[in-house]
Amino acid sequence: EVSEPREGGGAPPSLAEMRAAAVRAGSLVGVVPVSGCRLSADLTAAYLDRLRLSAAEVSEPTLQSLCRLQAAHISLVAYENLDLHAGEGGAPLPPPRLDPVASAERVALRRRGGYCFVLVDAFAALLTSLGFVVSLHTAGVGESPLAAEKWGNHIVLLVHFGERRFVSDVSASGRRVRCAATASLHGAGGE
């Protein structure tokens, strides 16, 4: 289940607004714009190396490049949430900082995985750095219908190609999907 974030409700953001925002980062209470989401050239290269892809293989922000990136990410970057439950001595560690660059450094340089918010945050920053237009949306994972208390336990990455949007999930809930799926959003005109 995905919803379009919009303060006070209303129409979903226009493509011009999406291009201006480039990346939005989610939290448990909604979607909040973030700054500094473009990765440095070195960090982008390290991330692609982690995915065993060359810049030439994903040089254009196309659906084919997105599918290639998503399949590599799912295959090579682990979903992990043990830090949240049992840190040193069994005490839970504080969650990793949700920042696109910090998340990308965790994946690319420290060769770690993460839970959905970290993986999607990092992947969104990589995609933005490669020229994709993306947005992050608060979501929920659980039985359908989703219980209200489950809302916000997940984050969904949408990749925008003109008026077409695709869900690209590199977290645990997307592990069986190797390529992005067309997005159908609640409150987005029944698309």
- Determine the pLDDT at residue 4: 38
Q: Which residue has the tokens 């994903």?
A: 58
**Stretches in the chain below the pLDDT threshold 70:** 1-36, 83-90, 95-97, 146, 150, 172-191
What pLDDT is stored for residue 49 in this prediction?
97
CA separation for the pair 62, 128 (Å, rounded): 12
What is the rounded CA–CA span in Å between residue 162 and residue 16?
Answer: 10
CA angle centred on 63, ends 156 and 31, rounded to 5°: 20
pLDDT the model gives residue 141 = 72
Token pair, residue 89, equals: 């001595």
Model confidence over 54-102: pLDDT tens digits?
999 999 999 999 999 999 999 999 988 776 666 666 677 776 667 888 8
In whole angstroms, what is the distance from residue 36 CA to residue 147 CA? 34
